[in-house]
Amino acid sequence: MNTEERQLAEMLHRVTPEPPRRVTVEDVAYRLASEPQREPRSRRGSIWKHRGWTPLLAALSVFAIAGVSAGIATVATSRHGTQTPNDGTPPATAPASGSPSPPAPAQSPPPSWETLRVAGGMWDAKLINRLSFSQGSLTGGGNSLYAVGDGSLVRIDPASGAVLRTTPYSAPVIGRPVVAGNTVWVVWSYGGGGIVLRGYDASTLAQVASVPVSATGGVSSQAQGVLAAGPDGKLYVAAGDTVATVDPASRQVTRRIQLTAGQASSVAVSPDGSKLYVAAGSFQLLVYDLATGTQTLSSSMPASGGSLLATAGGVWGTTGTGMSEWVWFAPGGNLTRSFRVSQGAGSGLASLPSYGGGVVWIGGSHELVCASPATGRAMARTPIPADHSVVEYFDSVTVLSSGHTYALYQDDRARLAGVASLTPPRACSG
């Protein structure tokens, strides 16, 4: 080697970091054991033969109508298109925004899906249905799952995977439905000077509330995760340069907190109800004492940030865009102490953090992580395999009161998507 080659060799050894974790024999054994058992590709893609033109055209009509009423941009950012259940039930048509009489929710007879093992059996992942929903939209309440896709909010039976109820809904901003008590709350419209929240009965999905909230100073163009519920059931919504508190019982705005750092793009409430976390501008994290309404902390990050999630130890959020999106944890809501939790969360909306079963979950296309809500440290992680180098996704992990864990799954190569049941390792038991 000449001098230059020696310098290069020395530099490579000096700069190349130590790996965050080692590969173990168990990793290799698992891979070896699981790969031969992966489902044949033809079978994975076979669901598409069930697709007919009727549901496809109907879904397109829903897309068009919902796009006009609720803003087509949000729908277009969704990577999924809801596959209408192949049960002969026509999909509901979205009414014009602000329609006073809610349409009757549709009920679908449960189709029979064969449980399908996916992602090489990672965390015993099995599809319980073959329906596609918007990334990051799955959530749980009681013993039901709720998700959003092409013009519908749906209630899913976790036992069979069947869609039990649907109601017209197109999300105007990124964010999952919020289940508070017996009501599923969504942001119905979000733009200009007005915001409308709607509440649906958690069982029937019949509309039970519609709450207008004015947004002073216009809503944030980076809005993402604008609705949160406190432990007392009150709702908090990012409303321009304020955060509005909505009492679900009276369906009134009962309080406003004025921000000093631009428009709110995301909100989260600590589990004990003492702190309100607000993402504002691009990007400041503000912490408010909810008892007094005073700001107690402000810190910033030289990047965009959003989709806040509050836990006992602090606040979680995302930064970056698209495949570069990743998740950070800020202890006590202080960004100057923040650190990255997930290595290459990947895939934008798929990496939004969620809380369930006492732990925080982060999905994506690279790895599935469960982390401590107190410290932000990963308690277990597993790589998400790729399908012939094409990424597969797990996102919006949800743990129901039964203790069962679910997530949205997608394999673009196999054109396969659905709700997956997971059996995470014991380390993920909060």
Partner 1 sequence: MSRALTSLEVLPVDGRPTEPDGFREFVEARSSALLRSGWLLTGDWPSAEDLVQTALAAAWPRWTSLTRQDAPELYVRKIMVNTFLRWRRRRWTGEIATARLPEMQAYGDAFAQVDARQALITALDRLPPRQRAVVVLRYFADQTEAQTAAAMGCSVGAVKAHASKALARLRDAPGLAELMTGGVAS
Tell the smallest beta-carbon distance from residue 127 to partner 1 (Å): 21
Q: Which helix (H) or strand (E) holds 67?
A: helix 53-70
Q: Is 11 in the site for partner 1 (CB under 8 A)?
A: yes
Residue that has been written with the tokens 């902390």 in this structure: 297
Q: Is 101 in the site for partner 1 (CB under 8 A)?
A: no
Q: Read off the tokens for 167.
A: 């109601």
Q: Is 250 in the site for partner 1 (CB under 8 A)?
A: no
Q: Confirm if 296 and 343 have CB atoms less than 8 A apart.
A: no
Tally Cβ neighbours within 10 Å of residue 210. 15
From residue 272, how far is each of 234, 244, 249 by CA, in Å? 13, 19, 20
Distance CA(36)–CA(326), nearest Å, equals: 31
Tell the smallest beta-carbon distance from residue 1 to partner 1 (Å): 8
Tell the smallest beta-carbon distance from residue 48 to partner 1 (Å): 18
Question: Which of 88-96, 249-257, 277-285, 300-308 is the region at the interface with partner 1 (rule: CB under 8 A)?
Answer: 300-308
Q: Confirm if 156 and 408 have CB atoms less than 8 A apart.
A: no
Question: Which of 27-35, 40-48, 51-59, 161-169 is the region at the interface with partner 1 (rule: CB under 8 A)?
Answer: 27-35
Q: Confirm if 105 and 401 have CB atoms less than 8 A apart.
A: no
Q: Which residue in 45, 181, 320, 358 binds partner 1 (CB under 8 A)?
A: 320
Whichever of 259 and 384 has its CB closer to partner 1, that residue is 384
Q: Which residue in 20, 40, 192, 403 binds partner 1 (CB under 8 A)?
A: 20
Tell the smallest beta-carbon distance from residue 366 to partner 1 (Å): 4
Residue that has been written with the tokens 């799955």 in this structure: 138
Q: Name which of residues 332 to 351 contact partner 1 (CB under 8 A).
A: 335-340, 343-344, 346-347
Q: Is 427 in the site for partner 1 (CB under 8 A)?
A: no
Question: Which of 13-21, 150-158, 287-295, 422-430 is the region at the interface with partner 1 (rule: CB under 8 A)?
Answer: 13-21
Distance CA(169)–CA(21), nearest Å, equals: 43
Q: Read off the tokens for 221.
A: 């163009």
Q: Is 291 in the site for partner 1 (CB under 8 A)?
A: no
Q: Is 286 exposed, middle or buried (0-12, 13-18, 19+ CB in 10 A)?
A: buried
Tell the smallest beta-carbon distance from residue 348 to partner 1 (Å): 10
Q: Is 40 in the site for partner 1 (CB under 8 A)?
A: no
Distance CA(39)–CA(416), nearest Å, equals: 12
Question: Which of 21-29, 111-119, 210-218, 369-377 is the region at the interface with partner 1 (rule: CB under 8 A)?
Answer: 21-29
> Which among 70, 79, 119, 71 is positioned nearest to 98, based on CA atoms?
70
Tally Cβ neighbours within 10 Å of residue 260. 10
Q: Is 22 in the site for partner 1 (CB under 8 A)?
A: yes
Binding residues for partner 1 (CB under 8 A) = 4-5, 7-25, 27-29, 31-33, 35-37, 301-303, 319-320, 322-324, 326, 335-340, 343-344, 346-347, 365-367, 383, 386, 389-391, 412
